[in-house]
């Protein structure tokens, strides 16, 4: 099976003032690039970011080259998009604008960082990826799975994680942790944390439905365990892939 990638975009992004190319060369390349793409998913406050950093440190200690990235954000442009998405002042943001911005950040990340790192054979760890859009926008915002898959086709061009670690905590724990964190370190990136408990419950259910649908890729890790125990669980899964 092959996937049509626009190699010009992946390997050689045009400079800002390059002439418009109407018919770029497209070549068939293998579906899976040589690197390893692992994502971390979970409710807000699940501790996935800490676990991603720990896994990266462990892999680097084994001599592997690791790119750590996050969504929304990652690239400098993605970081600007993140500010719009998470700013609590942006209450008018419509669900459609929201999902397009999440995918705008992702597309930039794929084009600027992720695809080339994977093509160099590196390990890429991402704190959230398309699964977050599936559960938060597809289910939480009721935009539907088909909309998300169509946007994924455009923004990611077939790039899917080989392994997804779902750090599992329930909606109540998630909201309590996120709000405690926001109180302890006041900041304005709280627009998503401010959603209702009902919204977060829908996200939780959607994550579990995803794990049930794709058990080969999405592996559940108990996010209520202590940090070292979670790290051991993560490693017991990842060791088979590296
Ligand atoms: P994140 O920075 O991971 O926050 P936290 O550390 O609290 O988990 O994610 C920011 C918020 O954006 C989070 O509430 C989840 C949400 N989100 C979406 O709704 N859709 C998406 O596609 C992504 C990537 C994140």
Cα→Cα distances 23→6, 10, 20, 156, Å: 10, 15, 9, 20
Q: What is the mean pLDDT of residues 238-242?
A: 97
List of residues 6+ apart from 3 with CB closer than 8 A: 28, 29, 30, 31, 157, 158
Ligand 1 pocket test: which of 49, 72, 161 has the largest number of ligand atoms within 8 Å of its C-beta?
A: 72
Q: What are 72-131's pLDDT values in tens digits?
A: 999 999 999 999 999 999 999 999 999 999 999 999 999 999 999 999 999 999 999 999
Q: Domain locations in the chain?
A: 37-241
What is the structure's pLDDT at 186? Answer: 85
With beta carbons less than 8 A apart as the criterion, state whether 71 and 78 touch: yes
Alpha-carbon distance 18 to 165, whole Å?
40
Query: What CA dihedral angle connects 191, 46, 237 and 156, to 10 degrees?
Result: 0
Gap from CA of 225 to ligand 1 centroid (Å): 22
Best CA proximity match to 148, nearest among 213, 43, 77, 156: 156
Q: Which of 36, 29, 213 is nearest to 120 (CA)?
A: 36
Q: Within 13 Å, how many C-alpha atoms sit on residue 188's CB side? A: 9
The rounded Cα 132 to chain-centroid distance in angstroms is 6
Q: How far is the CA of 44 from the centre of ligand 1 (A)?
A: 7
pLDDT value, residue 187: 86
Tell which wins on pLDDT, 13 or 117.
117
Cβ contact 78:109 at 8 Å: yes
pLDDT tens digits for range 32-83: 789 999 999 999 999 999 999 999 999 999 999 999 999 999 999 999 999 9
Question: In this predicted model, what pLDDT tens digit does every residue of 185-234 receive, in sequence order?
Answer: 888 888 888 899 999 999 999 999 999 999 999 999 999 999 999 999 99
Residue to probe by mutation, ligand 1, list 129, 137, 177, 192, most atoms within 8 Å of CB: 192
* pLDDT of the residue at 223: 97
Cβ of 78 below 6 Å from ligand 1: no
Res 31: pLDDT:
57
Q: Is 128 in the pocket of ligand 1 (CB under 6 A)?
A: yes
**CATH match for 37-241 among 1.10.579.10, 3.40.50.300, 3.90.1200.10, 2.60.40.2220:** 3.40.50.300
Helix (H, G, I), strand (E, B) or coil at 38: strand
Q: How far, CA to CA in Å, does 156 sit from each of 48, 79, 111, 151, 236?
A: 22, 18, 9, 8, 29
Closest residue by Cα to atom 17, ligand 1, is 132
Six-digit token pair at 187? Answer: 């900041």
Region 4-23 average pLDDT:
38
pLDDT digits (tens, 9 = 90+) for 159-188: 999 999 999 999 999 999 998 998 888 888
């Amino acid at each position: 099976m092959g996937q049509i990638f626009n190699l010009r975009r992946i390997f050689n992004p045009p400079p800002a003032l390059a002439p418009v190319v109407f018919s770029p060369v497209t070549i068939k390349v293998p579906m899976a690039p040589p690197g390893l793409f692992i994502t971390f998913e979970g409710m807000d406050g699940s501790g996935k970011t800490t676990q991603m950093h720990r896994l990266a440190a462990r892999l680097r200690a084994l001599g592997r080259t690791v790119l750590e990235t996050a969504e929304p954000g990652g690239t400098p442009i993605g970081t600007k998009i993140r500010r719009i998405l998470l700013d609590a002042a942006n209450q008018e943001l419509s669900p459609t604008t929201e999902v397009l911005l999440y995918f705008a950040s992702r597309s930039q990340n794929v084009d600027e960082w992720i695809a080339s790192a994977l093509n160099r054979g590196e390990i890429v760890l991402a704190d959230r990826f398309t699964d977050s859009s599936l559960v938060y926008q597809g289910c939480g915002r009721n935009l539907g799975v088909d909309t998300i898959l169509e946007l994924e086709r455009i923004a990611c061009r077939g790039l899917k994680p080989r392994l997804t670690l779902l750090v599992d905590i329930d909606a109540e724990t998630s909201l309590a942790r996120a709000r405690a964190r926001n109180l302890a370190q006041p900041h304005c990136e709280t627009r998503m944390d401010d959603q209702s408990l009902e919204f977060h419950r829908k996200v939780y259910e959607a994550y579990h439905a995803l794990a049930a649908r794709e058990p080969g890729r999405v592996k559940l890790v108990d996010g209520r365990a202590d940090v070292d125990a979670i790290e051991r669980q993560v490693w017991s899964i990842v060791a088979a892939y590296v």
